[in-house]
Structure 1
Amino acid sequence: MRRLSVLTAVSVLLTGCSVFGDGPQPLKTVTIGLDAPLSGDLAEAGLSIKNSVELAVAKANEKHLVPGVRFELDPRDDAGDPARAKANATALAANPAVLGVVGPYSSSVALEMNPALAEAGLAQVSPSNTLPALTWGPDYRGKGKNRPYGTYFRTVTTDAIQGPYLADLLRRSMQVTNTAVISDTKAYGKSLADEFAGQFEYTGGTVLLRRTVEPGATDFTALVEQVRSSKAQLVYYGGESPEAGRLAAQLAAAGVRIPMAGGDAMHSEEYLHLAGATAAEGTLATSAGIAIDNLASAYAYVDAYTAAGYTVPHGPFGPYAYDSAWALMLAVGSVVTKNDGVLPDQDLRKAVTSALQEVTFFGVTGEVSFDKFGDNYNQSISLYKVENGKWTTLVSSGRWAGH
């Protein structure tokens, strides 16, 4: 079976029935690895990813998605530390039962993990990495796209889409003529800020101030004064919610009453908590994917997540984590089907990676399939705004006209 039909895959997600035929009770265990920040400042996002993969694995086992196969999850905590993530990648690669990995959360972490997983021939699907260079190569602007690792895939949209999308929206729909652009020094934050600033200036806007902050920074006194002096209409922040929230709070406390905007890593409950109600109000954030609020394909997932009683919300990346795990398990099923109903003894990881490149299904987040670079063909963007202390959806499924 070269490709799974979209219609059949919809049935898998919504009814949970096997697409690979009826068979005996599961006999062989296949491990899906996971790397995410399960502790530390980014734990809310990491736990939402882990919880969602747990749900996917449980559903696959309950309905015997792949006859003869039982899936189990091996979650690893990187605490947002690239060195720990690299060690996790080495450990997962050393376990022959691991046939795929979901994660990591951060693009900077992926840069450390990808070589070890690729060397082991181990497929990985990230639900949250947005750095374009991960699939297009580090010199994609100057030399064109060149996929660095054939084992790496992702289900979310990239910064090359979400940064310019908001830049265009601010310029053309909201008449913002100038901005301050601030980012952390991680690969994700710098890339997102670069993509935003480049498009903002291309459309005639002016970047009045460009600064970076260190991850973990808590005192933004000098930066707040620089923003004040710049007289910028808006602050665009490329980075994660801990620093963004603290910066927003300190801007408001100093009387700098201008809105904040940013990317997917800002779109979190943690940002609201750290910024506080007054400072957070009016904040705009894109998310590198579709908003599932009114998406029929997400109803069963949301119900299952709620019923499980998890202490953190599924957030923007939970649905993409579910689909990432499902893609890997469908790839395993495709390998089994092509091998007369059993897992092959040779080159199993290579076979799973090859099958993953051909997988297509309609998941929680809509259609999922991968182009020749490992990116999801479905390049949706959603836009949120903080209103009355809560994130509200302004655009549930947008597209950047320049893409």
Structure 2
Amino acid sequence: MTGSTLPRASVLGVVCAVLLSGCSSGGLGSGSTITVTIGVDGPLTGNLADLGLGIRYSAELAVAKANAKNTVPGVKFILDAKDDRADEQAARANGEAFAADPKVVGVVGPLTSSSALAMAPVLSKAGLAEISPSNTAPALTWGADYRAAGKKRQYPTYFRTVTTDAVQGPLLARYAHTRLSANRAAVVSDTKAYGTNLAAEFATAFEEVGGKVAFRATVEQGTSDFTKLASQIAASRPDIVYYGGEHPEGGPLSAALKAAGVKAPMAGGDGLHTDGYLKAAGPSANGDLSSQPGISVEGLASAFTYLDAYHQAGHEEEPGPFGPYAYDSTWALILAVGRARQGGNGTDLTGPELRKAVADALQDISFFGVTGDVAFDEFGDARSQVASIYQVQKGTWTSIVPVGRLRDF
């Protein structure tokens, strides 16, 4: 799932013809003006609020742009942002509220996979489109037993703009073994769906390429004292320590490892790729690694105008790694509304008919956005199955693999 400041870098992508418009043209839909609501769900308070607010503010930029450009003639968009505090029960309740509001045509979010597993069944039952900029658990689109039973789409209205742990976990495992010559790994995770799945993906891939997982452990959410665990990890003599989880626990764990004399870098997924991790780990973070589902967007020219607009808005929170994907998720919904608005009988759709048509239209949406090409496969996953790898250098997350594919390592 989980935000670091995005510096400008050399241009890797092609400048979009109309930045921040998703390269769309006007003329979508017709008829009298209606107001439709796009929901946003994520942690707007709590220790993951920096990421949730980055998603919210990015969605606001997309909605403001669509309204200013009249991207969908006859439609005014408003945003309804709800706080789930990264709590599954709150996410489910928010999903029920969105489903009960007839003006809501789609939802962006939630941040965490655990929240999505609680919300997706609710929105799917209501026929309400959901598109996440950050969920990475493969189970959301393939099913929990996809390895044994094969991939099967779980929720016909669920989509995401980032790739999954089935890519980012193995990518970092292969990179660690082939590029860092890591042969022994200690693997730790929290107990949430995101962390446990990501750690399992890393461990499986690490051993498949010839590495050995010498130590396994789990920690409870909210743990702050890692002294004993760090000592146990040090005794296992790892070449790399992998943590499946988020930065509130990951940062202190990194600091404890270095204090225990562990010289191996700590690595993890997008849950560590945050400014919060840098603050919590302090100088101990230097050399640590994280993967990020999707391309390293700071190298895309299409992200420059988005970043300028975001910072000009004066938000204290940075967009984080998921802000750009939240912008594109929102834009995908906006384009789906434009495509769905005109019914087959030539009349503009509204209400339940529009909601269903938006969910159906989202499957075929394709455009070049802030994060590059945006499109969805038959499971609702992003067609672009790539991840990037970052390293903390001089206290800053720095991209070292801007575009990574499993075949590269």
TM range (shorter): over 0.9
TM-score by length of 2: 0.93
Q: Write out aligned runs for 1:162-177 (5 A).
A: 162-177=168-183
Q: Write out aligned runs for 1:4-403 (5 A).
A: 10-11=16-17, 13-14=19-20, 19-21=25-27, 27-277=33-283, 279-338=284-343, 340=346, 342-344=348-350, 347-401=353-407
How far has the Cα of 1:233 moved from its partner? 1.5
Distance 1:202 1:50 in 2: 39
**Match of 1:164, as an amino acid?**
P
Instruction: List runs of 5+ in structure 2 lacking aligned partners.
Output: 1-14
How far has the Cα of 1:220 moved from its partner? 1.3
TM-score by length of 1: 0.94
Q: Is the 8 A contact 1:16 1:60 kept in 2?
A: no
> What does the per-residue CA deviation read over 1:65-84, in whole Å, with 9 as the maximum and x for residues that have no partner?
10000000000001111111
> What does the per-residue CA deviation read over 1:110-152, in whole Å, with 9 as the maximum and x for residues that have no partner?
1111111111110000000000010001110100001111010
Q: Is the 8 A contact 1:208 1:230 kept in 2?
A: yes
**Match of 2:53, as an amino acid?**
L
How far has the Cα of 1:338 moved from its partner? 4.5
The structure, 1 or 2, with the larger RCO (C-alpha pairs under 8 Å, 6+ apart) is 2
Distance 1:398 1:151 in 2: 28
How far has the Cα of 1:342 moved from its partner? 2.3
**Match of 1:354, as an amino acid?**
D
**Match of 1:285, as an amino acid?**
S
Distance 2:21 2:231 in 1: 56
Q: Is the 8 A contact 2:102 2:351 kept in 1?
A: no
> What does the per-residue CA deviation read over 1:43-68, in whole Å, with 9 as the maximum and x for residues that have no partner?
11111111100101110111011000
Q: Is the 8 A contact 1:26 1:70 kept in 2?
A: no
Q: 1:177 to 1:26 in 2, by over 3 A?
A: farther
Q: Is the 8 A contact 2:343 2:349 kept in 1?
A: no
Q: 1:79 to 1:14 in 2, by over 3 A?
A: closer
* SS at structure 2 position matched to 1:21: coil
Q: Is the 8 A contact 1:176 1:233 kept in 2?
A: yes
How far has the Cα of 1:88 moved from its partner? 0.5
Q: 1:12 to 1:27 in 2, by over 3 A?
A: farther
Distance 1:14 1:107 in 2: 27
> What does the per-residue CA deviation read over 1:151-174, in whole Å, with 9 as the maximum and x for residues that have no partner?
100000100000111111111111
Match of residue 4 from structure 1: none
* SS at structure 2 position matched to 1:266: coil
Identity %: 56
Distance 1:157 1:12 in 2: 25
How far has the Cα of 1:216 moved from its partner? 1.1
Distance 2:161 2:352 in 1: 28
**Match of 2:396, as an amino acid?**
K
| RMSD, aligned α-carbons | 1.9
Q: Is the 8 A contact 2:23 2:367 kept in 1?
A: no
Distance 1:341 1:301 in 2: 35
**Match of 1:309, as an amino acid?**
G
Distance 2:340 2:118 in 1: 28
Q: Is the 8 A contact 1:108 1:188 kept in 2?
A: yes
**Match of 1:324, as an amino acid?**
S
Q: 1:18 to 1:221 in 2, by over 3 A?
A: closer
Deviates further, 23-32 or 328-337: 23-32
Distance 1:17 1:139 in 2: 38
How far has the Cα of 1:23 moved from its partner? 8.3
Distance 1:204 1:195 in 2: 15
Number of residues paired by the alignment? 394
> What does the per-residue CA deviation read over 1:170-189, in whole Å, with 9 as the maximum and x for residues that have no partner?
11111111110000010010
* SS at structure 1 position matched to 2:407: coil
